[in-house]
A = this chain, B = another copy of it.
């Protein structure tokens, strides 16, 4: 029997899955636990736009009975999709699931509600607080999903990333995340910002939980249940970007040391400047595409935040040639990175500049995710590190396109190594 909700502790998908499979708990119990956890800490965390678990959960598929949170730019039948904007205040309930929700439902997960997103998944924050320190931002734009998983409201929650919208909230809230390869899953039913950048993502308590979820999602073997070989890693410091704080630098150095001691190959990433170039190109692409994607919203600029309006105006004024040059350059950088990381399993580096910043009026800096997102690569965030004050710090592993499986295996190994289990 799974115990009662433990506030502020992430809910292990792996344990829930085992308990459901062994009959020690039921889908109805799991939903009851989700309800209890939400009612316990939601007034403080404010992760949800709507939390309404169905009364008779299905119990089919490998994740049968697992409560799932869904970022509120993704359609779930029966819930309106409000996208964190007053423009969608009166949206009618969606009458169809988004493609990504169909896939997770097929794996057995049960959408229990919609989680807070920043306005159209850009910067303007919703009411969500960081469960690890309610005076701090949970990050964005997938604020509610990260906070809901960090609070143990659900063991699994969906996000999306255009710049750093999945990885940074994972780092700030101390949970694990996977950003899927670009174009891995259709965007039907998911409101995007930038068609060539938007990707789907998912949160869980740890990387081994994500590996289990991925196994259920794809039918591949569970990378968290095997003992993979120590990975070959490239250590990316992000130094030329000039944003990484001391605490994070120490955490990355310490992590790299522990991984190497545990048997991983950790070589220096040789092309830091190339990554800085990709950051610049990502900003160009995002502004240009968002201006077209959200042209209708720019036309009613008084109804959107000044931050979003500024992005859309800058993209609207951008010459096609600037956008095109950025896309061309990203293709070259992608090809170069593919070549230089060919014999490595992942690039390892800081998931965010530092711990979650104080205050709720901003969601932190996505800069350390921009380059990988611009290249469409999958990314796993490994939780477990912390600064001197005990605030969580995430480590990101960047994988090869379309190889989430190997990336998750490397992530599971790294997670165990960091916690002294290998």
Contacts and interface: CB of A to CB of B under 8 A. Distances in A.
Interface of A: 81, 91-96, 99, 102-103, 106, 183-192, 195-196, 198, 218, 220, 292-293, 295-296, 299, 320, 323-324, 327, 331, 335, 401-403, 405
Contacts of A218: 292
A95 B77 CA distance: 11
B185 A188 contact: no
A291 to B, nearest CB: 10
Given A188-B189, A320-B405, A296 B196 contact: no
B99 A91 contact: no
Given A103-B292, A183-B195, A185-B292, 20 more contacts: A91-B95, A93-B95, A94-B96, A102-B296, A103-B295, A106-B295, A183-B183, A184-B195, A186-B187, A186-B195, A187-B187, A187-B188, A187-B195, A188-B188, A188-B191, A220-B320, A320-B402, A320-B405, A324-B403, A327-B401
Most buried by B among A106, A292, A327, A405: A292
Contacts of A102: 296
A331 B375 CA distance: 13
Nearest to A189: B188
Contacts of A96: 81, 91, 94
A188 B293 CA distance: 10
Contacts of A99: 191-192, 293
10 contacts: A81-B96, A93-B95, A183-B195, A184-B195, A185-B195, A185-B292, A188-B191, A188-B192, A189-B189, A324-B403
Contacts of A195: 183-187
Contacts of A94: 95-96
Most buried by B among A185, A220, A299: A185
A106 B297 CA distance: 11
A282 to B, nearest CB: 14
Contact of A186 (B95, B192, B299, B320): B192
A405 to B, nearest CB: 7
Nearest to A107: B295
A293 B183 CA distance: 11
A396 B217 CA distance: 39
A81 B96 CA distance: 10
A58 to B, nearest CB: 13
A99 to B, nearest CB: 7
A101 to B, nearest CB: 11
Nearest to A332: B335
A407 B124 CA distance: 38
Contacts of A93: 95
A327 B400 CA distance: 12
Nearest to A400: B324
A324 B187 contact: no
Most buried by B among A81, A196, A299, A401: A196
Contacts of A296: 102, 106
B103 A402 contact: no
Contacts of A91: 95-96
Nearest to A102: B296
B405 A186 contact: no
